[in-house]
Homo-oligomer: A and B are copies of this chain.
Amino acid sequence: MLELAILGFLYDHSLHGYELRKRITALTGHVRPVAESTLYPAIKRLEKAGLLARETQPGAVAAPRHVLSLTDAGRNELRRRLAEPARADITDENRWFTVLAFLRHLDEASAQAAVLRRRLDFLQEPASFFYEGDRPLRAEELDDPFRQGILTIARATSRAELAWLRKTLASLG
């Protein structure tokens, strides 16, 4: 997730870690903030794996900056992760949004459409949060107003996303 965001942001521009941090915070920080002590080790991991390169600049403002850029292997890896997301990247909205945020980096519309279709399939699975035996319960069948809320909100999200997915899939041809 974090790694995907790092690769995704660096695909467009080289950035130093601090700027990267600000962009990741803007993207997902209001939901799930990223600690510095998580970001910098992640950068090191990716660097060690040969996915990104580091060039140290003398500090213009403060401490020396490490300007990061994707290697060819890094670009390939980003495309691979976007084209073949893990199951959790499809099902978990937080992860899914990160995939969506960078999906334009896939070159082919058909590959983009394939990813959207996986999300579509997932949303169409008959899944609920609450069951009676094996039968999924509908909001109206619950007497707990908070659990009703969960189903109400999830249904609204699902509806909106299905509409958007179908529209976008149609426009991708």
Of the candidates B97, B127, B153, B165, the one whose C-beta lies within 8 Å of that of A150 is: B97
Interface size on A, residues (CB 8 A): 41
A26 vs B128: C-alpha distance in the bound complex, in angstroms? 7
Of the candidates B94, B104, B131, the one whose C-beta lies within 8 Å of that of A94 is: B94
Residues of B within 8 A of A153 (CB): 157, 160-161, 164
Would you give the shortest CB distance from A162 to chain B, in whole angstroms? Answer: 10
A147 in contact with B100 given A153-B157, A153-B161, A161-B153 (CB within 8 Å): yes
B-facing mask of A134-172, CB < 8 A → 1, else 0? 000000000011110110111011011100110010010
Q: In the complex, which residue of chain B has the Cβ closest to the Cβ of A136?
A: B26
Q: Contact at B100–A146, with CB atoms within 8 Å?
A: yes
A93 within 8 Å of B (CB atoms): yes
Chain A residues touching B, majority SS: helix
Residues of B within 8 A of A127 (CB): 30
Residues of B within 8 A of A165 (CB): 149
A110 within 8 Å of B (CB atoms): no
A27 within 8 Å of B (CB atoms): yes
- What are 16 pairs between A and B in contact, CB < 8 Å? A26-B128, A26-B129, A27-B129, A31-B92, A32-B91, A32-B92, A93-B93, A94-B94, A97-B129, A97-B154, A101-B146, A101-B147, A145-B168, A149-B165, A153-B164, A156-B161
Closest 8 CB pairs of A and B: A156-B160, A30-B127, A103-B146, A157-B157, A100-B146, A153-B161, A149-B164, A104-B144
